Each structure stands twice: as C-alpha cells, then as structure tokens.
Amino acid sequence: MAQTAANFAPLEHTDPIAAFHAERATDVAAQGRDDALKRLSYRWIAETAPYHYAYNFCWMGRPVIQFPQDMLAMQEIIWRVQPDLIVETGIAHGGSLVYYASMLQLLGNGGRVLGIDIDIRAHNREALDAHPMRPHIDMIEGSSIAEDVIAEVGRRASGCKTVLVALDSNHTHEHVRAELDAYAPLVTQGSYLVVFDTVIEDMPPDMYPDRPWDRGDNPRTAVDEFLHETEEFEVDQRIEDKLLITVSPGGYLRRVGGGR
Ligand SMILES: C[S@@+](CC[C@H](N)C(=O)[O-])C[C@H]1O[C@@H](n2cnc3c(N)ncnc32)[C@H](O)[C@@H]1O
C-alpha cells in the first residue's frame, strides 16, 4: 500500500468527533490559563452588576436569576449526570426550578426538582402552581439550614439514584458553609454540588451595600474552607475555563470520593 499522509495521521484524527473534542479541550484549557482574559471577564461581570444583568432572562416565562452561560453549563451537567433528583436552595421566581424541571422532562427519567426557599412569595407560588413544569417540581418553604428542612430533604433524596445539588440562597459564608455541610452528603458519586455566586470574592469590595455578603464573606470563602476539609469533592476547572463569564468560579464541585 502506498504511504500517504493519511496513513500517518494520529489516531485521534481518524475519528472526527474525538478530534473535535480534543481540539476544544485544548482551546478551553488555554483560555483558562489566559489571566488577562479572566480579568476582562471579571471586569465585565462587575460592570454589568449595577444593571442587575443576571435578572434579564426568563425560562419558559419564569424569571431566572442566572447568567445564560451558567445555565448552559447546568444543561451540560444534567445531560452528563442524568440526575433523578435536583435540589436547589433559593427559589425566588422559580426560573431555575422550571429550567431544571424541563431538562428532566426531556431526559424522561421521571426525575424531580426540589426547591427550598425561606419565603416563597404568593405570586411566585401561584405562577409556579399554574406552570406546565409543575408536575416535576416539589417545594419546601423554610430556611435551607433549618434542621427539619435538612431532614426532610434527606428523606426525599434517600430513594434517589443520582442527586445533584445547587446552592443559591443566602450568600454569606456562614450560611453557605452550613448548606455545604447539610447537602454535600446527598450528592452522589460523579454528580455535582454547584455553589452559585462564588464570584463575589472576585468583585470590588462593597459592591453589594444592601446585602450581608461581601469580599471575604461569601460562597467562595465557604467553598474554600469546605474543600480544605474534604477530599470527596474537587473543582471541575474545565467548566469555568470554558465559560469565562460565570458567577461560579471555583463553584462547580464534582463528587470524586465517598458518598453513594
Ligand atoms: C438569588 S435568589 C435565588 C435565585 C434562583 N435560584 C434562580 O436561579 O432564579 C435567592 C433566594 O434565596 C432565598 N433565601 C434567602 N435566605 C434563605 C434561607 N435561609 N433559606 C432558603 N432560602 C433563602 C431568598 O428568599 C431568595 O428567593
């Protein structure tokens, strides 16, 4: 057989899908190492914050307080992990609950979303009750760190095969640390514990004057402390490297040990 360039092509280039993924992984890792690009992304986040950029979007008619980039990352995680339970602390208007519920309906695995909020406003509950995704959603009203709420969530998670947890309620260090202790044990092997708004640590100080969190007291400081004490979770760096614009740098945690 004549020796052509194709005979000597590296193995990965014979499979176009593998070649695509390999090239993308190389690009993602490279942009993740680009500190100037990261600084630009943080600056973009800081400069859009006064306009409440995260409030600009809806999913299936419900306001979702997230960056579209993080929503796409959650879709990728849900597809990969195929959870049959997603727990979210912090419901607000319920946009993310509806989003996760719609993803589970597409998966068709009978999965459910469990939202917890200290204050489910009447107008939000009414809109969620009337929503087509409602059959996939459960809600608990109460503090996510109250003992009875934690026990109830634990009961509901115990019969589930694959559990994913997203923390997006009160963003103080103390609260998120307590949530991490309460809900990390529910996350199943290979699944994710996503902690939103870790980016507060990368924002200028005093950016949230009407909130109890700030630089030095936020989800990122809680995650750092938590990871210092456990080897069961690690940051999935590939996610923030690909997003660049994310409210959760260092907040996409994957369970790599322990658990079920
Ligand atoms: C940032 S919003 C949640 C946004 C929502 N996850 C989304 O993606 O659209 C924060 C919510 O956390 C709730 N919250 C505050 N403190 C809480 C607590 N101790 N326990 C549970 N929820 C709490 C607030 O009532 C508010 O609705």
Q: What is the pLDDT of residues 52-105, one digit of tens each?
A: 999 999 999 999 999 999 999 999 999 999 999 999 999 999 999 999 999 999
d(CA 260, CA 244): 31
Q: Is the CB of 157 under 6 A from ligand 1?
A: no
pLDDT in tens, 158-179: 999 999 999 999 999 999 999 9
- Can you tell me the mean pLDDT for 15-29? 95
* Atom in ligand 1 nearest the alpha carbon of residue 88: 6
User: pLDDT of 99-136, one tens digit each?
Assistant: 999 999 999 999 999 999 999 999 999 999 999 999 99
Hunting for tokens 């409602």 — which residue is that? 134
Q: Which among 67, 103, 118 is the best mutation to test ligand 1's pocket, defined by most ligand atoms within 8 Å of the CB?
A: 118
Position 6 pLDDT exceeds 90: no
How far apart, in whole angstroms, are the C-alpha atoms of residue 214 and residue 206? 6
Q: How far is CA 24 from CA 80, 130, 181, 209, 241, in A?
A: 17, 41, 35, 40, 11
Q: Which pLDDT score is estimated for 94?
A: 98
The rounded distance, in Å, linking the Cα atoms of 180 and 253 is 11
Is the CB–ligand 1 distance for residue 94 below 6 Å? no
The CB of 89 under 6 Å from ligand 1? The reply is yes
Residue 1 confidence (pLDDT): 42
91 lines ligand 1 (CB under 6 A): yes
The atom of ligand 1 lying closest to the CA of 95 is 9
pLDDT score recorded for residue 22: 95
Parallel, antiparallel or unpaired: strands 57-59 and 252-255: unpaired
Question: Please, are residues 166 and 95 in contact by the beta-carbon 8 Å criterion?
Answer: no
**High-pLDDT (> 90) share of the chain, %:** 93
In DSSP notation, 199-247 reads GGGGSPTTS-TTSS-BTTBSHHHHHHHHHHH-SSEEE-HHHHHHHSS-S
Query: Is the C-beta atom of 54 inside 6 A of ligand 1?
Result: no
- Residue 247: half-sphere exposure toward Cβ, Cα within 13 Å: 25
Ligand 1, atom 14, residue with closest C-alpha:
169
For residue 43, is pLDDT > 60? yes
Mean pLDDT throughout 200-209?
Answer: 94
Choose among 213, 233, 214: nearest CA to 223.
Answer: 233
Task: Count CA atoms within 13 Å of residue 219 on its CB side.
Answer: 24
Query: Which pLDDT does position 8 carry in this prediction?
Result: 52
Tell how strand 192-195 and strand 57-59 pair up: unpaired
Question: Cβ(117) to ligand 1 under 6 A?
Answer: yes
The predicted pLDDT at position 3 comes to 46
Q: Are 223 and 45 in contact (CB under 8 A)?
A: no
Tell me how long the chain is.
260
- Quick check: CB of 66 below 6 Å from ligand 1? yes
Which atom of ligand 1 is closest in space to residue 96's alpha carbon? 8
- Indicate which atom in ligand 1 lies nearest the CA of residue 66: 8
- Beta carbon of 95 within 6 Å of any ligand 1 atom: yes
- What distance separates the 2 farthest-apart alpha carbons in the chain? 75
- Tokens in use for 92? 């607000």
What is the structure's pLDDT at 14?
A: 83
The answer to whether 219 and 194 have CB atoms below 8 angstroms apart is no
Q: Give me the residues paired with residue 114 across strands.
A: 87, 138
Q: How sure is the predictor about 4, in pLDDT bands with cuts at 50, 70 and 90?
A: very low
Q: What was the pLDDT predicted at 259?
A: 87
Distance between CA atoms of 222 and 187, rounded to whole angstroms?
A: 17
Residue 3 burial class via C-beta count within 10 angstroms: exposed 0-12, middle 13-18, buried 19 and up: exposed
